[in-house]
């Protein structure tokens, strides 16, 4: 997911240093079919690429449908953006539920110093569209600022 | 939900003592519509009716669809029964996810000495059918036994 981060020089440095695993997902054995609820645990390591916090690639669902996240450990932020360009973010903390409404692209960001782990639940037939997020990206990104996480506009490439 | 428990004399006693609140649900503000995932926190008090542990009424979904439970605090058991009469149960403990597949009636039982709280997630258009559970009931129930929770066959009324 080298392309996801803003600072291309920092990405090159990380890749040269051995291409670290930034996040890992553990899937429950549930059919990817209508009527089922798929659930997954994701763990995002703590760290930054340049000043941008480690995060997931982010995706839309192919079939517009909601996803629910429940924080398990660590501290993070859920970043959401609608197809119409509305932007929102919510803290993702232990035992807190964060709702991603149908039609919003979403990405999770680890803003803490420990691994961020969470449960996510979505429709078995939701499908994942990573491509449109790769193309259009999110309009804002979460960086390590002087006093804590900061939202900054995505710079034109 | 007086009718849900096996021991009718114990039910009458409880009602005479002031009809205690056995469980309470707190709903998130999510539309009960297709594409949405409704989520709710439920808290079941600790206690028994006769020897039968405090529990939820139990339900089928009107539209066969899965439900996911995540334990938050306390100790309990998820009781599940398919329309074909297959029976299953799973422990419901903090941070554990329990999957209820489409087409299975389900009920949660507090088998501990503290309140049992959990998150449940289901399809916005799932609908709730409490009636068929009221009529046919679950074939087994969870009682306080000498050394811990015990599953016992539901006696004919």
Give the model's pLDDT for residue A19: 81
Over residues B128-147, the pLDDT tens digits come to: 999 988 887 899 999 999 99
- In DSSP notation, chain A reads -GGGSS-HHHHHHHHHTT----EEEEE-S--SSTT-EEEEEEEE-S-EETTEEPB---BEESS---EEEEEEES-EEEEEEETT--EEEEEE-BT-EEEE-TTEEEEEEE-SSS-EEEEEEEETT--EE-HHHHHH--SEEEEE-SSSEEEEEPPP-
Q: Read off the DSSP letter of residue B55.
A: B
Q: Measured between alpha carbons, how far is B152 from B150 in angstroms, rounded to an integer?
A: 6
* pLDDT reading at A63 higher than 90: yes
Contact present, A56 and A25 (Cβ < 8 Å): no
Whether residue B67 and residue A123 make contact (CB cut-off 8 A), yes or no, is no
Distance, CA of A141 to CA of B22 (rounded, Å): 46
A96 touches chain B (CB under 8 A): no
Residue A36 and residue B122: Cβ atoms within 8 Å? no
Please indicate whether, in this complex, the C-beta atoms of A28 and B99 are within 8 angstroms of each other. yes
Category of B2 on φ-ψ map: left (φ > 0), alpha (ψ -120 to 50) or beta: alpha
At B8, phi and psi to the nearest 5? Answer: -70, -30
ipTM above 0.85, yes or no: no
For an interface test with B, give the residue of A121, A124, A127 to mutate (most B CBs within 10 A).
A121
**Shortest CA distance to B130 belongs to which of B62, B32, B40?**
B62
Mean pLDDT of B42-66: 95
Are A69 and A120 in contact by the 8 Å Cβ rule? The answer is yes
Share of chain A above pLDDT 70, in %: 99
Mean pLDDT of chain A: 93
List, for residues B73-106, the tens digit of each pLDDT value: 999 999 999 999 999 999 999 988 999 999 999 9
- Chain A closest-CA separation from residue B139 CA (Å): 25
Task: Count the alpha carbons within 13 Å of B146 in the hemisphere toward its beta carbon.
Answer: 0
Q: Are strands A76-82 and A87-92 parallel, antiparallel or unpaired?
A: antiparallel
């Amino acid at each position: 997911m080298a392309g996801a981060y803003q600072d291309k020089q920092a990405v090159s440095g990380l890749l040269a240093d051995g291409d670290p695993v930034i996040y890992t997902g553990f899937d429950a054995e549930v059919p990817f079919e209508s009527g089922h609820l798929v659930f997954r645990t994701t763990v995002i390591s703590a760290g930054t690429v340049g000043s941008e916090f480690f995060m997931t690639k982010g995706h839309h669902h192919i079939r517009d449908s909601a996803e629910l996240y429940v924080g398990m450990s660590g501290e993070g932020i859920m970043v959401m953006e609608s197809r119409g360009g509305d932007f929102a973010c919510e803290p993702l903390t232990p035992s807190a539920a964060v709702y991603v409404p149908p039609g919003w692209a979403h990405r999770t960001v680890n803003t803490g110093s420990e691994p961020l782990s969470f449960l996510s639940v979505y429709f078995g037939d939701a499908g994942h569209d990573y491509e449109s997020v790769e193309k259009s990206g999110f309009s804002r990104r979460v960086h390590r600022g002087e006093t804590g996480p900061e939202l900054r506009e995505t710079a034109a490439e």
